[in-house]
Structure 1
Amino acid sequence: MNDGIKLNGTCHCGAVRFTVLIADGLRNVRRCNCSYCAMRGAVVVTAGLGDIAYESGGQWLTRYQFNTMTAEHYFCSRCGIYTHHRRRSDPSQISVNVACLEGVSPFDYPSVPVEEGISHPLDHPAVASLAGTLSYVAAENKN
C-alpha cells in the first residue's frame, strides 16, 4: 500500500467489512453521470486496486457488469449497498463509496464534480471529462 489515509469501511448491514488506503486522501471526491452511476447516486474516492483488504464478508459481495464488461461494480448481496467498483477508465484503480467509509458522509461535500460517463472518455476522447457539479446545501435547523 502507498502513502495516504487508511480507513475502515462497511456495508449497511455490516456483513462486508474492509480497510482501504485512499492515496489522495478524501480531497478528490466525484460522481459519474453514466446510466448506472446516475441511478446509484454514490459519491466516490479513488484507491489502487490492491489497496482494499476485506476483513470479513467478502463472500457476500456480488459483482455487476454491463456494456463493455470492463468495470466491476460490487455490492453486498445481503443489504444491497454498493461498496466499490473497479474502474473502466483505469482498471488498476477502484472507486470506493464514501458513505461506506467510517466517519465520512457524502453530505460532507457541498460541491461534488460529476464526471462525464454518458459519453465515456474511452469511447469519445474529444468529450470533456467534467459533465458538471452537484451541490448540496443543508437546510437551516428549524428547532
Structure 2
Amino acid sequence: MTTYTGSCHCGNVAFEVEGEIDSGLACNCSICARKASLLWFVPRENLALRTPEDAAKTYTFNKHAIRHRFCPECGIHPYAEATNAQGQPMAAINLRCIEGLDLSTIPVHHFDGRAL
C-alpha cells in the first residue's frame, strides 16, 4: 500500500492515508458542489492524523451521518468521516488536499447526490 500525505491549505490539519488511488468521486450534492472536493474513500483506520484531532472542526447537516471535517483557520475541507452501509467506519479523503498528486491521472466518477 502507498502512503500519501495531505493537509489543508495552512497545514493546521494534516494527515497520512494508506491505499491505492484508483478513482475519485465528484458529487453534486449541496455541500460537495460548493466545496468542489474530489473524494477517495478508504477505511477510517487507513487515515492517520498528523495534527491533533481537535485542530479540525466538524460540520454536519441533513441526516447528520457524515462528519465533514474542515480547518477553522483556512476553511479547507481535507476529509470527512462516516459509516458505510455495512457499518464500517470510512473516511472520504479530498484528493485535492494530497501533496504532489497529479489529478489529471485519476479517473473521475460522477455521483448524483442531489437525487438523494
| TM value normalised by structure 1 | 0.71
Coordinate RMSD, CA, aligned: 1.9
Contact kept, 8 Å, 1:7 with 1:20, in 2: the verdict is: yes
Shift of residue 119 of structure 1? 1.9
Residue type at the aligned position of 1:53: A
2:42 corresponds in structure 1 to 47
| Counterpart residue number, 1:20 | 17
* C-alpha deviation, 1:92, in angstroms: 2.1
> Which one has the bigger helix percentage?
2
Q: Which structure carries more relative contact order (alpha carbon 8 Å, separation 6+)?
A: 2
Query: In structure 2, what is the Cα distance between the partners aligned to 1:52 and 1:89?
Result: 15
Is there any run of 5+ residues in structure 1 with no aligned partner, and where? 121-143
Unaligned runs of 5+ in 2: none
Kept in 1, the 8 Å contact 2:43–2:90? The answer is yes
Query: Pick from 98, 102, 108: which aligns with 2:99?
Result: 102
Cα distance change on mapping 1:16 and 1:110 into 2, 3 Å: closer
- Counting matched residue pairs gives 114
Counting aligned pairs with the same residue, the percent is 26
Residue 31 of structure 2 corresponds to which residue in structure 1? 36
Contact 1:15 1:57 in 2 (8 A): no
1:105 is displaced (CA, Å) by 4.5
- TM-score normalized with structure 2 length: 0.86
Distance 2:36 2:67 in 1: 16
Match 1:9 to one of 1, 6, 9: 6
Structure with higher Rg: it is 1
Seen in structure 2, the aligned counterparts of structure 1 residues 119 and 97 have a Cα distance that, compared at 3 Å, is same
* Cα contact 2:83–2:89 (8 A) shared by 1: no
Per-residue Cα deviation, 1:79-103 (whole angstroms, up to 9, x for no partner): 1000111246546211101111111
